[in-house]
A and B are shown apart, each in its own frame.
Chain A
Amino acid sequence: MLTYIIRRLLTLIPMALVISFLVYGGLELTPGDAVSHMIPPEMAGTLPPERLDALRDSLGLNDPFIVRYGIWLSGLLQGNFGYSLTAGVPIRQIVLDRLPATLEMAAAALVFSTLFGLILGTISALTRGTTADHTLTVVGMIGVSIPEFFFGLVAILVFALNLGWLPVGGRMLPGYETFFDRLPHLVMPALVLSIMMTAGVMRYTRSSMLDALSKEFVKTARSKGMPEWRVNLLHGLRVALTPVIVLISFRLPILIGGSVIIEEVFQWPGIGSEFIAAVRSQDYPLVMMIALLSVIAVLLASLIVDILTALIDPRVRLGE
């Protein structure tokens, strides 16, 4: 198991390298370079080209692509993610500032959607064909098919503007920064973000559980004279869990990348809304770096999926 995890982590390295190469290549293709961003355009016209070239030389911008990539990469490994073009601050700083907000909301949404998705899906499967099941199915379909921003806007309208129960957006008010002060801010975005995820987990749990309950071993379990709850949960749900865990694990990258739409709707100061801002202001280094981090998060999530699957299903052997 441990050797497998180490081996998988090692195979992540070449993949991450390829992606970093693509990211750097993408940066290279964008118009302009550092010098053209450092010198205001109206001044750039007045400077003689030799001085600009000398400046490029001193910054290493005239070196071959591969050399510059090497320097960039070694910086990356030391935690130097480069600088944002618009804010001029290190990207590392931006990411570290924004990450807690994203983590907070995404984690809340993941926990909520997993919990409620599993519970509702189980209820739906066990009450198959009844009004409860049909209701949950319809609600689930609505949850899956209506876009998140719509729910977000409706929620703001109802709970923030009409009822005034919750703040319209943002993460906290200056001066009110304890956990309980921040909680009302968190509730709406986290719940709206989890609506679609809950609906997905619910539908998936339902079908996976119905599949498991139709298996022969459920009949065996019942033939042992065990109570229904044990048959359904220990034999039905336990076996149904594997694909659901996979589904949930593949959502883990949202912890790093954030949900672009929800963060934008609720003015949540996370990575997602920063990403949108960076795209709008054509802050290429920042866009690329967030993309790189998201891709690495996806790679890690797929490793976590494999490990979790092996942990919950004894038939899956890692390392073969």
Chain B
Amino acid sequence: MAPASDVALTVKDLKTFIYTNNRCNKAVNGVSFSIRRGRTLCVVGESGCGKSVTAASIMQLLPTLSRIEAGEITYHSDRGDIRIDLLPRNGRKMRAIRGQDIAMIFQDPMTALNPVYTIGFQIMEMLRYHTRLGWRARYRKAVELLRSMGIPLPEQRVDEYPHMYSGGMRQRAMIAMAMSCNPKLLIADEPTTALDVTIQAQIFDLMETLKREHGTAVMLITHDMGVVAELADEVAVMYMGSIVEAGTVDEVLRTPRHPYTRALLESIPILGRGKAQEIHAIPGQTPNPYKRPPGCQFADRCRYRIARCETMPEETQLSGTHRVMCWRHADEEVHLDAAE
């Protein structure tokens, strides 16, 4: 564990359940991690594994019929620790944290900006609630922010509507908005999934720069292992509501100990190896969230399944940072097989 002063946010044994038609989806089922200032935590996993719900829990932006059932979310602010999970959802204290301390950017910049207001208006809205700047100062700040995000002609662009921006520019504007109050933590929920690859690189460059200059902690949600390798300091691999493996980027990518992590890594085609390369898709499908297997959630799709997997594996600490939830994490047979 890093010294507390360095940590921006700690999540401990978080459980967030979503209720639909009298059924309960344990979308996040006991997740723990911490994010340090100036570092990037990448949360990876398939769709529906609970990545976004985890992020929404931190911001308390969950849908109405869902709730944080257990666990702690602690934001280590300059004014002392704040238990986010205990704050009323849309209360004044929670609203003060949103935007000011923890800001978020979303997957699709096409839909995340309000089409009927100018970009400038939407940035100024953020400043209005978290600064004491007057209208003129907010306007100037909005222009400055757009300029620093590399948007050409910001004086003119600030008065334009989102539909007049390209996809990449919209995401820059989103980042400008998110960074406008210098948040301690930036949550980016698949920020480049809707953009093409060249724009993706520019957006990540921008985020890297901001992280370096402002010491912002970044929680980056993605399903792209390439992005993880590129940007992450720490990685958490999620599957069906649990973090099955977490550690530094080296530990997780070089010595994956969970069969799911490895399956994810093996399922990526490598550029330059041509058509002949073998890509191992993960067999089967994720289990129905309403009819979960009792034990390891990945057992049904796992090559190394043993009888013991019928019970939920415990979390094992492999090193100071590396932890895994698998009964066979130390089994040499499993890892030799993978090395071939």
Shortest beta-carbon distance, A272 to chain B, in Å?
A: 37
Shortest beta-carbon distance, B63 to chain A, in Å?
A: 10
Least CB separation from B121: chain A residue:
A234
A223 touching B125 by the CB < 8 A rule?
A: no
Interface majority SS (helix, strand, loop, mixed), chain A: helix
Alpha-carbon distance A225/B129, docked complex (angstroms): 7
Shortest beta-carbon distance, A60 to chain B, in Å?
A: 57
Q: Mark B62-104, 1 if CB is under 8 A from A, else 0.
A: 0000000000000000000000000000100011111110011
Shortest beta-carbon distance, A317 to chain B, in Å?
A: 10
Interface segment out of the listed A20-28, A133-141, A214-222, A244-252: A214-222
Identify which of A215, A225, A239 contacts B98 (C-beta below 8 A).
A225
Residues of B within 8 A of A313 (CB): 115-116
Residues of A within 8 A of B125 (CB): 221, 224, 226
B113-170 at interface with A (beta carbon < 8 Å): 113-117, 125-126, 129-130, 161, 163
Least CB separation from A216: chain B residue:
B111
A34-92 at interface with B (beta carbon < 8 Å): none
B177 touching A224 by the CB < 8 A rule?
A: yes
Identify which of A216, A225, A312 contacts B130 (C-beta below 8 A).
A225
A225 touching B96 by the CB < 8 A rule?
A: yes
B163 touching A228 by the CB < 8 A rule?
A: no
B108 touching A216 by the CB < 8 A rule?
A: yes
Alpha-carbon distance A219/B90, docked complex (angstroms): 12
Q: A219-B106, A224-B125 are in contact. Are A312 and B116 (CB under 8 A)?
A: yes
Alpha-carbon distance A276/B256, docked complex (angstroms): 84
Residues of A within 8 A of B98 (CB): 222-225
Shortest beta-carbon distance, B263 to chain A, in Å?
A: 31
Alpha-carbon distance A178/B73, docked complex (angstroms): 68
Asked if B112 is an interface residue, CB under 8 A from chain A, the answer is yes
Identify which of A226, A227, A228, A239 contacts B115 (C-beta below 8 A).
A239
Asked if A235 is an interface residue, CB under 8 A from chain B, the answer is yes
A225 touching B97 by the CB < 8 A rule?
A: yes
A220 touching B130 by the CB < 8 A rule?
A: no
Least CB separation from A227: chain B residue:
B95
Shortest beta-carbon distance, A194 to chain B, in Å?
A: 28
Asked if B59 is an interface residue, CB under 8 A from chain A, the answer is yes
Other 15 A-B pairs with CB < 8 A, given A223-B103, A225-B100: A216-B112, A217-B113, A217-B114, A219-B61, A220-B106, A223-B61, A223-B104, A224-B99, A224-B177, A225-B130, A227-B95, A228-B90, A238-B117, A239-B114, A313-B115
Please list 9 pairs of residues, one from A and one from B, whose beta carbons are closer than 8 Å in the complex, sorted by A's number.
A216-B106, A217-B112, A221-B125, A223-B61, A224-B99, A225-B126, A227-B129, A239-B115, A315-B163
